[in-house]
Structure 1
Amino acid sequence: MDEQPRISDAEWEIMKVIWEKSPATAADVIHALRDNKTWKDNTIKTLLSRLLQKGILTYEQVNRVYYYSPVLTEEECKRQERQSFLQRVYGGALKPMLVHFLKEEKLSSQEIDELKKILSEKEK
């Protein structure tokens, strides 16, 4: 597994905006999060800077404006996060995690059918 730096919960919020609006300026991110977050503008700029340092974001400067773009796709980040979680919590073993979730969570008939279909396809 390629070891990418972990993304914090706050950084995930920034990345969701970047994935949706890329390339995006800091002002674009601030505007997109204004209704949902009480973060100050400098907080968002700090989070953007951290994501740049981690290599998750890149930027292009046009005049005095920075346009941020993701280095990794959302799916690549989710995959890394899943692998990290699986390793940290279940020692990398998939079966105990699946069993735990299946026993603990309520599933609709439709969800159960979808899971059966996925398992059937995996079996082939």
Structure 2
Amino acid sequence: MSRPDDLPALSEAQWEIMNLVWDRGECSVADVWKVLQERRGVARNTVQTLMIRLKEKGWLSAREVDGAFLFTPTVSRDCSQQSTVQRLIETVFNGSAEGLVLSLLHGGALSTGEVERLRRLIASSRKKES
């Protein structure tokens, strides 16, 4: 699989498509379009154009089966998320992961359960370091 650091950043619409492809492993333009059509009424040609661009940028690969192209991700979701968060930390929070976490805490983006899970993860990480 490719590394997300070597690929252009994804737009919001491209992330939505990539998440669908990651969920399914392999899918056609029609598969993605059906889901997006239910969510927000997007044109099939728009989905096709976005998926072709994702292929051209290296995020997707495609193979032809019975006249239709089936697309698969070339980068894992986990690596893509980690790379994107790292870019966000570097550009928006001036390299401060603490700034990101504080923003999430103060912005109310985290539930009580998520905060508790983060506490446990931090405690576990500290134990491994000692």
* TM-score in terms of structure 1 length: 0.86
Residue 122 in structure 1 maps to residue 128 in structure 2: no
Residues 31 and 109 of structure 1, relative CA distance in 2, 3 Å threshold: closer
2:41 to 38, 43, 64: 38
Which residue of 79, 83, 87 maps to 1:84? 87
Q: Secondary structure at the match of 1:102?
A: helix
Q: Which residue of 2 aligns with 1:93?
A: 96
TM-score, structure 2 length as denominator? 0.82
Moved more, 95-104 or 2-11: 95-104
**Closer, same or farther in 2 for the Cα pair 1:110/1:63, shift >3 Å?**
closer
Alpha-carbon spacing, 1:114–1:49, altered in 2? closer, same or farther (3 Å): same
CA RMSD in angstroms comes to: 2.0
Aligned counterparts of 1:107 and 1:49: Cα–Cα separation in 2: 35
- The residue that corresponds to 2:22 in the other structure is 19
Sort the Cα spacing of 1:82 and 1:58 in 2 relative to 1 into closer, same or farther, 3 A: same
Higher mean Cα deviation, 103-112 or 59-68? 103-112
Q: Which amino acid aligns with 2:60?
A: L
Report percent identity of matched pairs: 27
Helix, strand or coil: the match of 2:5? coil
Runs of 4+ in 1 over 6 A off after TM superposition: none
8 Å CA contact retained: 1:4, 1:80: no
How many residues were matched structurally? 124
1:38-117 to 2 correspondences below 5 Å:
38-105=41-108, 109-117=112-120
The question of whether the paired residues in 1 share the 8 Å contact of 2:104 and 2:110 is answered with no
Structure 1, unaligned stretches of length 5 or more? Answer: none
Structure 1 distance, partners of 2:111, 2:27, is 39
Q: 1:97, 1:4 → 2: CA distance?
A: 23
Secondary structure of the structure 2 residue equivalent to 1:44: helix
Q: Which runs of 5+ in 2 are unaligned?
A: none
